[in-house]
Amino acid sequence: MGELQLPPIDYGALAPMLILFGAACLGVLVEVIAPRRARHPVQLTLSLLAVVAALTAVVLQRDTRITTIGGAVAIDGPALFLQGAILVLGAVSLLLIGERSIEQGGAFVSQAAITVGSEKDMRQAGGEPGATEVYPLTLFALGGMMLFVSANDLLTMFVALEVFSLPLYLLCALARRRRLLSQEAALKYFLLGSYASAFFLFGVAFIYGFAGGIRLEVVRDAVANPQNSQVLLYAGFGLIAIGLLFKAALAPFHVWTPDVYQGAPTPVTAFMAACTKVAAFGALLRILYVAFAGVQWDFQPVLGVVAVLTMFVGAVLAVTQTDLKRLLAYSSIANAGYLMVGVLAMNEEGLSSTLFYLVAYGFSVLAAFAILSLVRDAEGEATHLSRWAGIGRKSPLLAGTFTLVLLAFAGIPLTSGFMSKFAVFGAAIEGGQTWLVIFGVISSMLIAFPYLRMVVLMWLSEPGESTPSVSIPGFLTATALGLGVIATVALGVIPAPLLDLTQDAGQFVR
Amino acid sequence: MEQTVEFAPPTGVLSSIWLLVAIPLASAAVLLLLGRRADKWGHWLGVLSVAASFVLGLVFFASLAGLDADRRSAELSLWDFIVVGGLNVDFGLLFDPLSGVFVLLITGVGSLIHLYAVGYMEHDPGRRKFFAYFNLFVAAMLLLVLGNNYVMLYFGWEGVGLASYLLISFWYTRPSAATAGKKAFLMNRVGDAGLAIGIFLMFTELGSTQYDDVFNGASTLAAGTVLIMGILLLLGACGKSGQFPLQAWLPDAMEGPTPVSALIHAATMVTAGVYLIARSNPIFSANTTLQLIVVSVGALTLLIGCVIGAAKDDIKRVLAWSTVSQIGYMFLGVGLGGGAYALAIVHLLAHGFFKANMFLGAGSVMHGMHDQVDIRRFGGLSKHMKITWITFGTGWLAIIGIPPLSGYFSKEPIIASAFEREVVWEAWVFGLAALLGAGLTAFYMTRLFWLTFHGPARWTDDIKHPHESPPIMTIPLILLAIGSVGAGYLMSTSVPEWLTPVLGESHGEAAHGVLGHTTVTILSLVVTVLGAGLAWALFRNGTATEPQPAGALVTAARRNLYTDAFNEAVFERPGIYLTRALVFLDNRGIDGVVNGLAAGIGGGSARLRRLQTGFVRSYALSMLTGAMLVVGAFIAIQLGWLA
């Protein structure tokens, strides 16, 4: 047996991920060492510092364009942009996760193992401090997502997928209230997620059979110059795509989304809606643009149908939702469809506009869930639409902010929502996918209706007898909400700087 | 359009045209953000901001008039809005003769209606919010006419749509108001989708959405492309302006407060479609088929509006259908092309005055009659509401086109132009349609006027002494009445020449039509007098207070010529069924089967638990189906590729 040769590793380029994983491990130690009372501030500070440090490292690395660890990881423009986006959105999510002043003890259960409905459960619901394991879990998830968007071979990508998925499954189960719903959501997410992962892995096996390797450039060369049966290629590509479409919540692989969004603790839902979307589309972009661009004429129609289906399922079902979290879930599904339109442009504009969309949508959706966490009654968050009737009279500022976010979702001009849709649709037309744009425009007209109905409900309806109270946001939520709203407006009015940044990110290294 | 379109950079005061939009917008923001603290004075801020924009508009207009005719425009680029790849959208404004007259109309009539609304909404607890939305509307409308590219226009377009939706539903407690708001929203969406796709098409074909690039490039496009682009823009215009086949929302929109009907649904927003077509005149002039379509839409709509208007008994709805019909005249004008573009704009401006006048007059009548809107329940009001009677009377004479009031100078030339179309059968068809419309207009407006102000009083029992409205409402009425009387002659002599830089030369010596100009003038006066006389003869002694059995045509007209039924069958039903089907599939189709099984097995076990097993299985099943379809599709493509 020969000496095992370690491939050269560029630690500088990997620093952002290493910082996060390191801090996550440290966080686990904190759980063991620190006294219970001190854990929350220590963990929150540690996590935020780690994210800021990782972000600094990303900025310092901004000109790096390499592959490292024997080609397993690519640190290039899009990867760095996506990592930066994940970190920024992750930092805002951490603010929401760390909030403890709206609900005593925070949004998380104090001990996940407590039996639902038992006496202990009553006590913990009454305000025992929430579990602090959520911080290391979030950091692991963030690190996994960063690896996911920079993975340059299919196995690394699979490992990254699992690294960020497993903490998410756990996080979903940790809601302080409505715990059965939360645990149910987590179990569903876990089962269906594993199912999708299996598809992905199966696809990797096919592709290995086809290309004789799992590195993306090996696959690309094999696609350009096929040596084996094309059936392997197409079956493999289809299965891999399904794994990614699941994470990105595209129809018909979106079915988990409404249940999981509804059941998970709201800060976790916000985290998933913003960051998971970035990670899933980041990986999808890399796979499609690097490995399979050679067969784009074959997959564009199929994935185009998926995009159209997604846009319409999201838009049409959003109309009949009565729960705000489910409404936002269907909205997130429809948005995945619009993103897919940008991805399928398969040109430079497609890449840069999708990146822009991911950031813009991430901020808006974080703001939306932050607002959602503020409207509460004795049972926790009041998410039924009817409860929001006339809320504009009691809390004009909250309703005004939410209106702004909804207008952004509806794609009303001068908000980031309009800019991002405009950018992806423009790119798709450049890329010759006009039919997708026509469906996209029709679907976005449809989905404007539930958003504007919500606006009317808040401002023009008579308040019901039991309009819930609106909590004063704590410092953390206020900051997160402020950032989300500012970004929503700023990216709508002066989108140029971020658009420039997405264009400077350039292309994937091949 | 051989000459290239070029806009000059702004000079002098014209570099601050952005203030026009910014002032009402800032006022709206203040009113919304300050909340109840602004309740006491908020409405005055609303009025002042629009008045300030009007004064500024006058200053800019004067300074624009001071420029040479060939450089009479000011294009102000505020900042690069979107620069992505080949796409470059400017956040810019354009103040030229066409947008100039619109700015004056919007802010001028807008100020008067704002003033009136101070009185009209006095007892409404939501008055501040009302003014905030109203200012928002004015800002959006100004953006619509001031943008220097189609994307900016689209911003304004969506903005006015949003404000209109909010204002129609303002009296949300009435279910009919909420329904009307939804209807307006949905029908506008259809139009908006057309406009959006049209703009995208422009971008693909011409690589730009700036007005100058598009207009200069339009002549290089294939005829089919211009046709499609034009039809898409026309679809947008029809949605916003309530033209066939998207006209049904406009009369329902009258559920909103009367000042809203006057400003948005009579004077300004609904004319946005006419603005869009006039602004895009290089596109529409480039294709005769396109012009024929616009003319047909206009002629058809003007007749539909007249016929339905003659059968309605609700004062605001009669006026609303009359608006539909008058905008039909404007579409006819812009469709005819050439010199008729300017005529349509003149009619638009004149209509802005006399229709706002009559809507506010209707509001004044309702104010005095406990919000009664049924004209069968009015009568004899001329003695009790002198000012409203006289001002409404000027509006009535203006719309039916009695010289020397404004309608005569603005409508009659459009009828004459219709008779001048080059193709003979078109000249006869469209000319006679316009002429017939004039007679019908005279009929239904006289019916409305007479039943409201003359004849025996047929009031409901609770009304003893109808009272005239306070001065804050009558002063705007008087000013608008003066406009209805005098504006027509002034505008018909000056506006066409003023608009020449934008709309092209209006032909001086008219081409000879199938009927001479004098003949048309005499004919249209004759049908007007006939129509008015017939209405007077039928209704001079009032009318029954209950609906009467009627013949087929009247019944059809009372039911909006069955256009609602058509809309319901073509748009509404399929939409509802599609939604239901999808929801059904989601809830019952897949889950139902599994849940049913689980229910059979688990018996009375808790619903949550049942859902748990049911959902995951069914989700996995739908994922598997999807996976098989996706992979199957790929394999199929690949096999096809081999074969």
Task: Check whether B126 has a pLDDT greater than 90.
Answer: no
How many whole angstroms from its chain centre is CA B196? 17
Name which residue leads in pLDDT, B315 or B459. Answer: B315
Q: Report how many Cβ contacts below 8 Å link chain A to chain B.
A: 176
Count of structural domains within chain B = 2
**Signed CA dihedral, B17, B21, B24, B26: sign only:** negative
Highest mean pLDDT among A95-109, A140-154, A220-234, B322-336 belongs to A140-154
pLDDT in tens, B559-569: 666 666 665 65
For residues B553 and B625, state if they share a domain: no
- pLDDT tens, A256-291? 898 899 999 999 999 999 999 999 999 999 999 999
Contacts of B3 (CB under 8 A, 6+ apart): none
> Could you report the per-residue pLDDT of B574-608, keeping only the tens digit for each?
555 655 555 554 444 434 433 443 343 333 333 33
Q: Check CB contact under 8 Å for A188 and B616.
A: yes
Q: How confident is the model at residue B247 (pLDDT cuts 50, 70, 90)?
A: confident
Q: In this model, does residue B556 exceed pLDDT 80?
A: no
Residues B427 and B526 in one domain: yes
Same-domain pairing of B489 and B631: no
- Say if residue B385 is in the same domain as residue B526: yes
Q: Which residues of A touch B170 (CB under 8 A)?
A: 460
Domain that holds residue B640: 617-643
**What is the distance in angstroms between the CA of the first residue and the CA of the last residue of chain B?**
52
B355-391 pLDDT tens trace: 888 888 888 888 877 777 777 777 777 788 888 888 8
Rounded CA-CA distance B340/B334 in Å is 6
In this structure, the answer to whether residues B322 and B470 fall within a common structural domain is yes
Most confident among B210-214, B321-325, B373-377 (mean pLDDT): B321-325
Q: What is the DSSP string of A407-446?
A: HHHHT-TTSHHHHHHHHHHHHHHHTT-HHHHHHHHHHHHH
CB–CB contact B637 A187 (8 Å) = no
Q: Counting beta carbons within 10 angstroms of the beta carbon of residue B123, is it exposed (0 to 12), middle (13 to 18) or buried (19 or more)?
A: exposed
Evaluate if residue B643 carries a pLDDT over 60.
no
Residue B347 falls within a domain, yes or no? yes
Q: Is B55 on the interface with A (CB under 8 A)?
A: no
Residue A326's nearest CA partner among A408, A414, A262 is: A262
Instruction: Tell whether B554 and B624 lie within a shared domain.
Output: no
Q: What are phi and psi of B422, to 5 degrees?
A: -70, -40
Question: B513 with B638, same domain?
Answer: no
Which chain B residues have a beta carbon less than 8 Å from that of A255?
Answer: 618-619, 622-623
Which of B541, B558, B575 is the last residue in one of the domains?
B558
What is the model's pLDDT at position A334?
A: 94
DSSP single-letter state for residue B90: E
Shared domain for B319 and B453, answered yes or no, is: yes
| Residue after which a domain boundary falls, among B514, B537, B558 | B558
Confidence at A510, pLDDT banded by 50, 70, 90: low
Question: Is B528 part of a structural domain of the chain?
Answer: yes
Q: Is residue B171 part of a domain?
A: no
Span between the terminal Cα atoms of chain A, in Å: 32
More confident residue, B466 or B332: B332
Q: Which residues of chain A lie closer than 8 angstroms to B586, CB-CB?
A: 317
The residue-averaged pLDDT of B429-447 equals 88
Q: What is the pLDDT of residue A311?
A: 93
Among A230-244, B24-38, B216-230, B449-463, top mean pLDDT goes to: A230-244
Specify whether B442 is located in the same domain as B523: yes
Which residue is closest to B87 within chain A, CA to CA?
A426
Nearest neighbour of A495 by CB, restricted to B82, B582, B635: B82
Is residue B171 left, alpha or beta, with left meaning phi > 0 and alpha meaning psi from -120 to 50? beta
Q: Tell me what pLDDT residue B562 has.
A: 62
Is there a contact between B634 and A234 if contact means CB atoms under 8 Å apart?
yes
Question: Across the strands, what pairs with B87?
Answer: B84
Residue B282 located in a structural domain: no
Among candidates B16, B10, B12, B20, which has minimal Cα distance to B71? B10
Q: Minimal Cα distance from A305: which residue of B?
A: B630
- The helix, strand and coil proportions of chain A, stated in percent and rounded to the nearest 5, come to 75, 5, 25
| Integer Cα distance of B465 and B457 in angstroms | 11
Question: Using 50, 70 and 90 to split pLDDT, how confident is the model at A193?
Answer: very high
**Distances B152 to A164, B99, B146, B156, B501 between C-alpha atoms, Å:** 42, 13, 8, 6, 21
The verdict on residue B453 lying in a domain is: yes
- Whats the size of chain A, residue-wise? 510
Q: How many angstroms separate the CA atoms of A331 and A451, rounded? A: 9
Query: Can you give B105-152 as a three-state secondary structure string?
Result: HHHHHHHHHHHHHHHHCCCCCCHHHHHHHHHHHHHHHHHHHHECEHHH
Strand A380-381 with A375-377, pairing: antiparallel
Nearest to B84 among A298, A461, A499 (CB): A499
> Could you tell me if residue B461 is inside a domain?
yes
CB B332 within 8 A of CB B419: no
- pLDDT for the residue numbered B205: 80
pLDDT at B588: 43
Q: Has residue B158 been placed in a domain? A: no
Cα–Cα distance for residue pair B412/B402, rounded to 1 Å:
10
Output the pLDDT for position B568. 60
Token pair listed for B275: 């603005």
CB contact under 8 A, B155 and A413: yes
pLDDT digits 0-9 by tens, B2-42: 456 777 777 777 788 888 888 998 998 888 887 777 777 88
Query: A269-278, B85-94, B536-545: which has the highest mean pLDDT?
Result: A269-278
Q: Does B311 fall in a domain?
A: yes
Please give the C-alpha separations between residue A250 and each of A27, A264, A330, in angstroms, as whole numbers. 34, 19, 11
User: Hey, is the C-beta of B622 within 8 angstroms of any chain A C-beta?
Assistant: yes
Coil vs helix vs strand at B78: strand
**What CA–CA distance (Å, rounded) separates A413 from B269?**
18
Indicate whether B551 pLDDT > 70.
Answer: no
Pairing outcome for strands A375-377 and B87-95: unpaired
Region A170-185: what's the mean pLDDT?
Answer: 90
Nearest 5°: the CA angle A294, A299, A300 is: 100
Chain mean pLDDT for chain B? 78
Residue A432: pLDDT band with limits 50, 70, 90:
confident
* Higher-confidence position of B232 and A378: B232
Instruction: State the Cα–Cα distance between residues B55 and B60, nearest whole angstrom.
Output: 9
Which residues have a Cβ under 8 Å from the Cβ of B575 and sit 6 or more positions away?
none
Task: Please indicate, yes or no, whether residues B338 and B483 belong to a single structural domain of this protein.
Answer: yes
pTM for the model stands at 0.65
- Of residues B81, B192, B638, nearest to A234 (C-beta): B638
Lowest-confidence pick of A335-349, A477-491, B123-137: B123-137
**Are B459 and B370 spatial neighbours (Cβ–Cβ below 8 Å)?**
no
Instruction: pLDDT band for A144, please (50, 70, 90 cuts).
Output: very high
- Is residue B30 less than 8 Å (CB to CB) from chain A? no
Are B552 and B627 within one domain?
no
The pLDDT tens digits of the residues spanning B55-68 come to 999 888 888 888 77
Q: B417 and B548 in one domain?
A: yes
pLDDT at B83: 65
Please give the structure tokens belonging to residue B313: 């008994």
Distances, alpha carbon A400 to alpha carbons A406, A448, B223, B405, in Å? 10, 17, 47, 46
pLDDT recorded at residue B574: 58
In this prediction, residue A270 carries a pLDDT of: 95
Task: Please tell me the distance from the alpha carbon of residue A315 to that of residue A337, in angstroms, as a whole number.
Answer: 10
Q: Go through A491-503 and write b for each residue having 16 or more CB atoms within 10 A of its CB, e for each that does not.
A: bbbebbebbebbb
Question: B85 contacts in A (CB within 8 Å)?
Answer: 348-349, 426-427, 430
Mean pLDDT of chain A: 90
How long a stretch of residues is chain B?
643
Dmax (CA) of chain A = 79
Tell me the average pLDDT across A134-155. Answer: 95
pLDDT bin (cut points 50, 70, 90) of residue B550 is low
pLDDT for A162: 95
Chain A residue numbers with beta carbons less than 8 Å from the beta carbon of B82 are: 419, 422-423, 495-496, 499
